[in-house]
């Protein structure tokens, strides 16, 4: 029999010579102390354990220590016992073993494919300044943080590092991902408009749409400074995220950083996209937005429901809504995959947009990765601002274009 202590202390004690079973036992202890294996993972234990033991054996050393054991009479008698000291395990041993044996299997906890991780390492690795830690380990702990709502202390313990080191790594990875923004989140070229519009029209029949625009709230702790500015209509502190997406939920543009109390229309008027949207859009193409946005030839909104809408206008609004809902599904998918965005516990407001943008880059990276299918999220993310219609003066050219589209939809009905 071997005596082990799984959670208290770092040493494992054996009285007999090594056997294969003890190899497995040591590996199990290493994995448990790394907090990686859960009770759902035992099916993969044996192969991973044997590889771990081979790598761990050089770190085992024999030491002699005095131990006290109770006798049958209840007295303690001192005796010498051989002590096998197992060094604190290195997490990458497990990571390497897992990825090596499960290259075609997803990491179930965060649902990330091995091919995705390797592709991301190739992209991010050359951009990292500090190379004292392996790039895969940096990426895994950062992805784990984004994909879960576990505390920094818990994740640091899981990945065998200090909390301060984890904060530094997470910040570094997010900044590097933001540098890839223009590569993975970009406005389409003019020759790509037709294929984007076909994607929407094939699904709902709405013509000329290259993207849907909307905003969502990322909850944060209420800041001390300018607290009321961050309180949204639900009464919670948040940061605004505005995005445009394709029919495949790929982000074409993201803009974040505004406090939660600000209306969608004001965020839109202050975003870089607003200034060049008219020039960047051909007359036969447009975005779809809800009634919170101003109507124009490049941004089509629904008819205001004053209780006297015609049949043509009602059909238009119905198809407009069913087409535009893709952006709400994209937000639901984003928050469902990167669950830390459901509540971002960060007090440094300057870093919040960096983390949000990094998650959006990963969102597009996953969608673009060949052969990787992101699970669709059943939850549709709605924005409270959609419920109140802004009193924008409607653009005459925009009204004319909207009427033409409504007539086209009725004729094709």
Q: How confident is the model at residue 399, as a pLDDT?
A: 94
Chain-centroid distance, C-alpha 304: 35
- Reported as a pLDDT band with limits 50, 70 and 90, residue 135 is confident
- Reported as a pLDDT band with limits 50, 70 and 90, residue 79 is very low
Neighbouring C-beta atoms of residue 51, cutoff 10 Å: 18
Question: pTM for this one?
Answer: 0.73
Q: Which residue has the higher pLDDT, 155 or 90?
A: 155
Residues 92, 135: Cα–Cα separation, whole Å? 10
- Whether residue 367 is predicted with pLDDT greater than 50 in this model: the reply is yes
| 268: Cβ contacts below 8 Å, ≥ 6 apart | 213, 242, 274, 289, 293, 294
Chain-centroid distance, C-alpha 173: 13
Nearest to 238 by CA among 352, 351, 149: 352
Residues 274, 166: Cα–Cα separation, whole Å? 37
107 phi and psi angles, rounded to 5 deg: -75, 105
Would you give the DSSP letter of residue 189? P
- Whether residue 30 is predicted with pLDDT greater than 60 in this model: the reply is no
Residues 202, 196: Cα–Cα separation, whole Å? 10
> Both ends of the chain: CA-CA distance in Å?
78
Residues 222, 352: Cα–Cα separation, whole Å? 13
Region of 193 (left: φ > 0; alpha: ψ -120 to 50; beta: rest) is alpha
As to burial, measured by CB atoms within 10 angstroms (0-12 exposed, 13-18 middle, 19+ buried), residue 153 is exposed
Q: Which residue has the higher pLDDT, 108 or 244?
A: 244
**In 125-258, alpha helices (H):** 135-147, 152-158, 163-179, 181-184, 193-204
348 phi and psi angles, rounded to 5 deg: -80, 100
* DSSP reduced 3-state for 123: helix
Please report, for residues 2, 12, 77, 107, 384, the alpha-carbon distance to residue 69 in angstroms, rounded to integers and kept in the order given: 15, 16, 6, 44, 66
Query: Dihedral through CA 239, CA 244, CA 249, CA 252, nearest 10?
Result: -110
Residues 123, 88: Cα–Cα separation, whole Å? 31
Helix (H) and strand (E) counts in the chain: 14, 9
Question: Do residues 289 and 214 lie in contact, with contact meaning Cβ atoms separated by under 8 Å?
Answer: yes
Q: How confident is the model at residue 44, as a pLDDT?
A: 52
- Reported as a pLDDT band with limits 50, 70 and 90, residue 124 is confident
Q: How confident is the model at residue 94, as a pLDDT?
A: 44
* DSSP reduced 3-state for 267: helix
Dihedral sign for Cα 248, 254, 257, 259, please. negative
Q: How confident is the model at residue 86, as a pLDDT?
A: 37
Pairing assessment for the beta strands 209-219 and 76-86 based on DSSP bridges: unpaired
Convert the pLDDT of each residue in 373-387 to its tens digit. 555 444 666 655 554
**In 2-124, alpha helices (H):** 20-33, 45-56, 91-101, 114-124
């Amino acid at each position: 029999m071997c005596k082990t202590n799984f959670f208290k202390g770092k040493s494992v004690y054996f009285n007999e010579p090594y056997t294969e079973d003890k190899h497995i036992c040591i590996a199990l202890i290493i994995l448990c102390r790394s907090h990686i294996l859960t009770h759902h993972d035992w099916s993969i234990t044996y192969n991973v354990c044997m590889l771990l033991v081979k790598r761990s054996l050089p770190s085992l050393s024999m030491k002699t220590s005095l131990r006290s054991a109770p006798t049958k009479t209840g007295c303690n008698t001192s005796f010498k016992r051989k002590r096998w000291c197992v060094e604190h395990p290195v997490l990458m041993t497990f990571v390497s073993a897992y990825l090596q044996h499960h290259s075609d299997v997803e990491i179930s906890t965060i649902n990330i494919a091995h091919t995705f991780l390797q592709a991301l390492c190739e992209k991010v690795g050359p951009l990292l300044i500090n190379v004292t830690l392996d790039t895969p380990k940096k990426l895994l702990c950062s992805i784990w943080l984004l994909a879960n709502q576990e505390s920094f202390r818990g994740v640091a313990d899981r990945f065998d590092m200090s909390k301060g080191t984890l904060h530094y790594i997470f910040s570094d990875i997010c900044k590097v991902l933001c540098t890839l923004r223009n590569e993975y989140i970009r406005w389409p070229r003019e020759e790509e408009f037709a294929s984007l519009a076909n994607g929407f029209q094939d699904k709902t029949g709405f013509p000329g749409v290259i993207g849907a625009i909307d905003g969502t709230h990322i909850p944060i702790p209420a800041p001390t400074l300018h607290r009321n500015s961050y309180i949204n209509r639900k009464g919670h502190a948040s940061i605004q995220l505005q995005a445009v997406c394709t029919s495949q939920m790929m982000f074409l543009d993201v803009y974040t950083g505004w406090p939660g109390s600000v209306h969608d229309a004001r965020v839109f008027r202050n975003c870089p996209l607003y200034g060049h949207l008219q020039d960047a859009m051909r007359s036969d193409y447009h975005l779809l937005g809800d009634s919170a946005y101003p109507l124009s030839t490049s941004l089509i909104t629904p008819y205001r429901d004053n209780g006297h809408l015609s049949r043509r206008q009602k059909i238009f609004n119905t198809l407009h809504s069913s087409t535009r809902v893709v952006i709400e599904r994209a937000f639901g998918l984003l928050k469902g995959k990167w669950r830390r965005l459901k509540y971002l516990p960060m007090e440094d407001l300057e870093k919040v947009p960096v983390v949000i943008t990094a998650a959006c880059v990963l969102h597009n990276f996953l969608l673009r990765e060949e052969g990787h299918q992101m699970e669709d999220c059943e939850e549709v993310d709605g924005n409270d601002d959609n419920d109140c219609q802004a009193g924008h003066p409607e653009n005459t050219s925009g009204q004319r274009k909207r009427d033409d589209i409504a007539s086209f939809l009725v004729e094709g009905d």
